[in-house]
Structure 1
Amino acid sequence: MSTKDKSFEVAIVGGGIAGIVLAISLIKRNVPCVIYEQAHAFTEQSVGLGMTPNALWAMQLCDATIREAFDKVTGPLFQWNFLDGTGETDDSITQISIGDTAEGLRGCHRGQFLKELLGLIPESTIRFKKQLDRIEEPNGAHGKLLMVFSDGTTAETDAVIGCDGIKSQIRGIVVGRDHPSAKCTYSHKYAYRGLVPMSQAIEILGAERAGTFGLWVSHDVNLVSYPVARSTMLNVVVHRTGVEDWPSETQLTLPADLQSCLEDVKGLSPRLQKIVLSLKGLDRWGQFDLGECPPTYAKGRICLIGDAAHATTPHLGAGAGICIEDAAVMASLLAVDRVRGGPDIEAAFAAFNANRRERGEWLIRNSRRAGELIQLQSEHKKDFRKLESELQSLAAKVYRFDVEMNIREAVEDLNKRLSAA
């Protein structure tokens, strides 16, 4: 790791979890960076966020302060409990359990976590109202990249990392605007989600069930719930398969009415329908991913991480965690002492691509598979023993990924590239 400030600067496009965690990780490693965020300010989103064990370890590898920020807003670990939500059997009986109090899921309020993270970044690091239009690349590996924004302003930088999410502008620059992966793909699933006060959730589900993670499977629909905001709220998400195409080409979230929602959850048991009725201000969230995976995450000194690289459906609960893994690997690469300028940054981004793309592609593919399993659309149907076997295998590949080894291998790859240059 570098002990003095690097002589180059990194532009981070996008101020979501991936971008903010990366910025903290770079700052702690003396790598100068600036976040360019298109919004006017960061807003607190009232949605829950789940973190798996690999994510917790990746936070620590990014920087201990990130893990400490998460610990301030989360509660204890809990198992993934899978239940029968069809109404055909008792919906309070756990059919499958994954994880335990040492290896499970921890939930938080997304807005509260972001607020804690922002406290770790100097305000001067963030530029708001900056919608990227294009990047002008210099001839050769040593000149500055010129970022041109939609308001007509420009900024020079040595490297650009796209953390601009599923609708990433940077992805189109990396893979080409006409490449199929430049745009996200509708998975033909959508969700209703919201937070329910814990007192109300306990009245409906009971204290034991409301106090832990529950995933109720059913035919073409499933419901997920877990405590957030230090167990004062229950995060509730209903996932539904939709046959028709998504009705908007620009909006991934659309207003929803209660009647349509109730029609969508008819396949759930009566008390699960009741918890859905507790959701306020319903929206319908289209579940998009990069079903057509990017052929590369890197192009010269421009690179993708997080959802910009591997946006996924939420059925493995792993999207945010793997974004944090990305940040840990990227920050470690750019902190290597031998990385001093343009050609070295190109080598670092190439090493990131070589060592992270397989993980991102696996996530997209297997999150879709998990969605089929929990909506009883697979060859296993409602055979809980067969479902358990496959879900346990998928969870293990999320939970037990060795982020530290991934960093070591990526740094070794980088050093080989630098030596060969």
Structure 2
Amino acid sequence: MGVKLRVAICGGGIGGLTLAVALSRYHDIQVDVYEAAGQFKEIGAGVMIWARTWEILSMLGMAEDFARIAHAPPDQAPGIGFDYRRSDHPQEGSRFYLFQVPYGCIRFHRAQFLDVLINHLPDGVAHFGKRLTTYTYSPSSHGRDGGQITLHFADDSTAECDLLVGCDGIKSTIRKQMLTDHVRKHGGDPKLLNHIEPVWSGTTAYRGLIPVHRLVKPDGRKHRTIDSPMMDKHVVSYSISAGSIVNVVTFASQPQLYDTPYDGVWVTNCSPAEIQACYAGWEPEVDELLKCIEKPTKWAIHELKPLPFYFTGRVVLLGDAAHAMTPHQGAGAGQAIEDAFILAEVLGHRQTTLSTLSRALTAYERVRLPMANHVLKGSRQSGNMYEFNGPLADNLVPLGPLIGSQWDWLWDSTPQTERDRALGMLHYARASL
């Protein structure tokens, strides 16, 4: 069987590699992954997913490998998503809401998560040191099926494809050119240019890793977070790497600074004293946790303004390039994986050819854009609630259930129903011809 579609994936993070693995199931699709760095790598330590994302990894045949590196082998029993506590006072804190779901919060070390995807990648697909600078589309005079995209890389090399997928992250070069071309060459709304650059959320995060043994007292008493993901106002902690490491992420927000300029490097090292001073006067459990972080890093948390579309022509966005979001619902990686799953399903469908490619991309966009933008907005709202900056402030009795309602997207649909809806659009479009 010949190749019906040549797909170029620019960016080898979680979303790009999941798409490459998913597309590799179709022998009539040629897949190439172009990564700017000299190897695949992930920034950050912890990554969490929820049951709906686990279903996708299972359908792609990777559940067994991912189960080996999870904090514990996932099962369908109800588990703790987060244990919400008020901890910003010197006295011992208290729980005000317990969020439980099937599978709970499934946690991994990012590097190990990426390694599983790499191990499922076919040989010859990955190309390193390929930083995309621009792309051009050359239509063919031989009909609507013709034409190709030429990719131009910083090393002066080029490559060709039929479909370019931008998986190049929050600072996406592809998003920038796609929106700029749409405005300046095709008369699109100039306001779209405001969606090119990420905006600072007003939040700074501190991150650190703690070996589990440092959180066990001589008498054997363990810190609560070893066994239970915790949200202490806005100090998040959970175990990763088969339970051997605790990942800690703390947040300090100034909502009034949302979408103001952020001067400086987004990610820097900082001293243990800085993170401890930021949370001085909090409950002993938090103080004990933060004193165990030896090499914290400081992050300026940015996000995208919700995009009104994800593709133009033969260029489509995926993952953070399309909907980079704050981490307050632990949804960034999961949303990228859902993008990859739906896009692979519509591209691999027998009805998708070069001449019907626009239908497939439309189906992908109509399914994924509303969901991802909903989670993007909801994640920011959740972050405000965690720090008592939401509409209920620190009125804890109604606040807990309101926080819980922010997660309704986890079970309002399933990956299977989303896939079926997308494929149904392909059938409907064909029947309408």
Pair in the same fold by TM > 0.5: yes
1:9-44 CA-partner distances (Å, limit 9, x unpaired): 100010000000110000013322000000111236
Equivalences for residues 20-419 of structure 1 within 5 A:
20-30=17-27, 31-43=29-41, 47-61=45-59, 63-65=60-62, 67-74=63-70, 75-76=72-73, 78-79=79-80, 80-87=82-89, 89-91=91-93, 93-100=94-101, 102-139=102-139, 141=144, 142-176=146-180, 179-203=193-217, 206-217=222-233, 222-242=234-254, 247-248=262-263, 251-266=265-280, 268-290=282-304, 292-341=305-354, 343-419=355-431
C-alpha distance in structure 2 between counterparts of 1:159 and 1:149, whole Å: 16
Secondary structure of the structure 1 residue equivalent to 2:205: strand
Amino acid at match of 1:306: G
Q: Which residue of the partner structure matches residue 13 of structure 2?
A: 16
Are the aligned partners of 1:300 and 1:349 in contact in 2 as well (CA < 8 Å)?
no
C-alpha distance in structure 2 between counterparts of 1:148 and 1:420, whole Å: 38
Alpha-carbon spacing, 1:357–1:312, altered in 2? closer, same or farther (3 Å): same
What displacement does 1:5 show?
5.8
C-alpha distance in structure 2 between counterparts of 1:43 and 1:393, whole Å: 34
Amino acid at match of 1:174: M
Instruction: State which drifts further: 174-183 or 329-338.
Output: 174-183
C-alpha distance in structure 2 between counterparts of 1:116 and 1:331, whole Å: 19
Alpha-carbon spacing, 1:208–1:189, altered in 2? closer, same or farther (3 Å): closer
C-alpha distance in structure 1 between counterparts of 2:22 and 2:67, whole Å: 17
Secondary structure of the structure 2 residue equivalent to 1:366: helix
Alpha-carbon spacing, 1:42–1:390, altered in 2? closer, same or farther (3 Å): same
Are the aligned partners of 1:53 and 1:400 in contact in 2 as well (CA < 8 Å)?
no
What displacement does 1:147 show?
0.5
C-alpha distance in structure 2 between counterparts of 1:273 and 1:95, whole Å: 20
1:170-212 CA-partner distances (Å, limit 9, x unpaired): 1112222771111111000011112100111233983444211
C-alpha distance in structure 2 between counterparts of 1:72 and 1:246, whole Å: 42
Amino acid at match of 2:230: G
C-alpha distance in structure 2 between counterparts of 1:44 and 1:405, whole Å: 30
Secondary structure of the structure 2 residue equivalent to 1:64: coil
TM-score, scaled relative to structure 2: 0.88
Are the aligned partners of 2:9 and 2:16 in contact in 1 as well (CA < 8 Å)?
yes
What displacement does 1:416 show?
2.9
**Quick one: percent identity of the two aligned structures?**
24
Alpha-carbon spacing, 1:223–1:166, altered in 2? closer, same or farther (3 Å): same
C-alpha distance in structure 2 between counterparts of 1:355 and 1:239, whole Å: 32
C-alpha distance in structure 2 between counterparts of 1:146 and 1:44, whole Å: 27
Are the aligned partners of 2:175 and 2:317 in contact in 1 as well (CA < 8 Å)?
yes
Alpha-carbon spacing, 1:203–1:44, altered in 2? closer, same or farther (3 Å): farther
Secondary structure of the structure 2 residue equivalent to 1:238: strand
C-alpha distance in structure 2 between counterparts of 1:308 and 1:16, whole Å: 11
RMSD: 2.1
What displacement does 1:52 show?
1.0
1:254-292 CA-partner distances (Å, limit 9, x unpaired): 2323333233222532331332232232221111111x2
Alpha-carbon spacing, 1:362–1:44, altered in 2? closer, same or farther (3 Å): closer
Alpha-carbon spacing, 1:54–1:386, altered in 2? closer, same or farther (3 Å): same
C-alpha distance in structure 2 between counterparts of 1:195 and 1:239, whole Å: 15
Secondary structure of the structure 2 residue equivalent to 1:314: coil
What displacement does 1:240 show?
1.0
What displacement does 1:420 show?
4.5
Alpha-carbon spacing, 1:82–1:18, altered in 2? closer, same or farther (3 Å): same
Are the aligned partners of 2:276 and 2:287 in contact in 1 as well (CA < 8 Å)?
yes
Instruction: State which drifts further: 321-330 or 43-52.
Output: 43-52
What displacement does 1:224 show?
0.5
Alpha-carbon spacing, 1:258–1:412, altered in 2? closer, same or farther (3 Å): same
C-alpha distance in structure 2 between counterparts of 1:358 and 1:390, whole Å: 21
1:381-415 CA-partner distances (Å, limit 9, x unpaired): 22222122111111232354322111111111123
Question: Could you list the runs of 5+ residues in structure 1 that have no partner in the other structure?
Answer: none
C-alpha distance in structure 2 between counterparts of 1:399 and 1:73, whole Å: 25
What displacement does 1:82 show?
0.7
Alpha-carbon spacing, 1:345–1:336, altered in 2? closer, same or farther (3 Å): same
Are the aligned partners of 1:83 and 1:95 in contact in 2 as well (CA < 8 Å)?
yes
Are the aligned partners of 1:213 and 1:225 in contact in 2 as well (CA < 8 Å)?
yes
